[in-house]
Amino acid sequence: MATMQTMKMASYFSNLLDRLTHRQERDLLQNQVNELSDKLCLTENLLNDTKENLEYSRDRQEQLSIRLAWTEGVVSDTKEELYDTEEDLKYSRDLQQEVTEAAKEADNTLKAYRKLVLPIVLEKLNDLMERNGSTEIYKFLDQFDREGWCLERACYTLIKGSIYNYFYEKDNLGHFENSDGYDLTYWREVMEFGDCDYEVQGMHEILIGHTLNSQQAKYIEYKKELHKRAAIAIINDHLDAIVQTHPDLLTCLEEKSISSSDTERVESIE
C-alpha cells in the first residue's frame, strides 16, 4: 500500500519535473525568439535606412551629374568666349598697328606738306604785309592764337626787359601767375610806352595808376611791326589748323591784305 502510494508520488513528481523542464525550455526558446525578432526588426530598420541612403545617394549623384554637365557647358562656353576674345585682341592689335602706321604716314605727309607749303605761305605773307600792311591780316590770324603766346613772343623780340622786375609789386601779389600772352603783352607795352603813377606806402612804391600812350607815332609803328611778327609766328605754329578751316588761305590773306591797306591808309590820314 505504502509502496503504491510512493510510486504515485514518484510518478507525480516526475511529471511535475518534466513539465517544469519543458516550461524552462519553452521560456528559453521564447527568449531566443524574442531576441531574433528584435534583431529582425533592427535588421529591417537598417535595411530601410540603407535603402533611403541609397536613394539619397542616387538623387545626389543625379544632381551632381546635372551640375557637372552644366559646369562642362560653362567651361565649353568660356573656352569659346576666350577664343573669341583672343581673336578680337589679335584683331585689335592688327588694327592698332594699322592705325599707328597710318598715323605715321599721315604725320610724314603733313611734315612734307608743311615743308613744301610753309615757305610759300610765309613768302606770300611777307610780300602782302610789306605792300599793304599787317593790321587786318593779323586780326584774321589772331583767332588761331587763342591765348596770345605768339603775340607775346613777338612782343618780346621788340620790347626787352623784365615786366616782373619793373612791376615787382604786381608780381609779388601773383598778378602774372595766371596771365596769358595778351595780358603779358599789354604790361610789356605799358612798361615801354606807358606812364605809371606810384604812391609810397611804407618802404615800397605801389602802382596806383597807369596810362598807355597808344596814339604816339612810336607806338603806332611798333604795333605794325608787332602784328607782322605775330602773324608770321601764328602761321609757323598753327598752319595745319588754319588750312583745315581755310583751304583757300592765300586768297584769304590777299583779301585781308587789301583791307589792311585801306585801314592803315585811314590811320595815317588821321
* DSSP, residue by residue, 48-103: HHHHHHHHHHHHHHHHHHHHHHHHHHHHHHHHHHHHHHHHHHHHHHHHHHHHHHHH
Q: What is the pLDDT of residue 62?
A: 82
Q: Give the model confidence (pLDDT) of 81-139 as tens digits.
A: 888 888 888 888 887 887 777 667 656 755 676 677 788 888 888 888 888 888 889 99
Q: Give the model confidence (pLDDT) of 33-80 as tens digits.
A: 677 677 877 877 887 888 888 888 888 888 888 888 888 888 888 888
Q: Give the model confidence (pLDDT) of 204-235 as tens digits.
A: 788 889 999 999 999 999 999 999 999 999 99
Q: What number of other Cβ atoms are within 10 A of residue 136's Cβ?
A: 21
- Give the pLDDT mean for 8-31: 72
Give residue 215's identity as a one-letter amino acid code: Q
Q: What is the pLDDT of residue 63?
A: 86
| Cβ–Cβ < 8 Å for 246, 252 | yes
Q: What is the pLDDT of residue 228?
A: 94
pLDDT greater at residue 91 or residue 268: 91
Domain extent listing, the chain? 133-269
Q: What is the pLDDT of residue 2?
A: 57
Please state the pTM of the whole predicted model: 0.58
Above 50 in pLDDT, residue 167? yes
Distance separating alpha carbons of residues 171 and 165, to the nearest angstrom: 8
Q: Which helix (H) or strand (E) holds 161?
A: none
Q: How far is CA 38 from CA 34, 50, 142, in A?
A: 6, 18, 112
- Among candidates 160, 218, 151, 207, which has minimal Cα distance to 181? 151
Q: What is the pLDDT of residue 15?
A: 79
Q: What is the pLDDT of residue 138?
A: 92
Ranges 27-31, 142-146, 211-215, 254-258: which has the least confidence: 27-31
Sign of CA dihedral 30, 31, 32, 38: positive
